[in-house]
């Protein structure tokens, strides 16, 4: 295969987006979520992985967390990987979403949160039973599965559209 053929081959491969987020909790087990200003619903701190810059999912989650809420925290275990199919009628390729354990935040860390005003309106801590009220689409089940993996200590869970794969 020539260099030109290889470049054409690569250019014609399916596109997949990749995102990574951190799952932070307080000492009561409530989950930290953020409210973006660019779309409806709430989300976990995190965002798109900058793979063009050689960033890994873990590095992306840490960078995005530092940018969005001002906390530069060493992330723990990978809790979930979710393959999110393209939504019909939307111009979005499939997404691979990684969720890492951000740990339990101290009162001091919570008090030091500083929102990235260009992207976020607010943040809050939400009890597990209220997550589905705030987290749209596949995100609510993804976060619940990540919490289950964390509690069970079983390692990462493989998901498709927020539900266990297989």
CA 42 vs. chain centroid, Å, equals 12
Counting the structural domains of the chain, the total is 1
Half-sphere exposure of 149 (CA within 13 A, CB side): 23
Answer whether residue 163 shows pLDDT above 90: yes
Residue 138 · residue 162 · CB < 8 Å = yes
**Percentage above 70 pLDDT, the chain:** 96
**151 falls within a domain:** yes
pLDDT for residue 87: 66
Whether 92 shows a pLDDT value over 80: the answer reads no
CA distances from 67 to 22, 140, 153 (A): 12, 23, 29
Residue with tokens 């919490």: 147
Residue 5 lies in a domain: no
Q: Say what the pTM is.
A: 0.91
Q: What is the pLDDT of residue 36?
A: 96
What's the CATH number where 68 sits? 3.90.79.10
Domain boundaries, position 40:
15-164
Residue 13: predicted pLDDT: 80
Report the range of poorest mean pLDDT among 19-33, 39-53, 89-103, 119-133.
Answer: 89-103
Closest-CA residue to 20 (of 40, 41, 50):
50
Query: Is 123 part of a structural domain of the chain?
Result: yes
């Amino acid at each position: 295969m020539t260099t030109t053929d290889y470049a054409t081959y690569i250019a014609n491969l399916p596109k997949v987006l990749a995102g990574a987020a951190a799952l932070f909790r307080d000492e009561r087990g409530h989950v930290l979520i953020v409210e973006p200003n660019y779309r409806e619903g709430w989300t976990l701190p995190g965002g798109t992985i900058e793979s063009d810059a050689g960033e890994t999912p873990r590095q992306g989650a840490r960078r995005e967390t530092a940018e969005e809420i001002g906390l530069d925290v060493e992330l723990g275990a990978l809790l979930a990987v979710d393959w999110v199919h393209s939504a019909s009628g939307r111009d979005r390729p499939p997404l691979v979403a990684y969720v890492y354990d951000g740990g339990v935040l101290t009162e001091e860390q919570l008090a030091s949160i500083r929102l990235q005003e260009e992207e976020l309106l607010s943040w809050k801590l939400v009890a597990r039973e209220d997550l589905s009220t705030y987290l749209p689409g596949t995100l609510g089940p993804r976060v619940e599965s990540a919490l289950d993996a964390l509690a069970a200590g079983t390692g990462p869970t493989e998901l498709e559209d927020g539900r266990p794969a297989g």
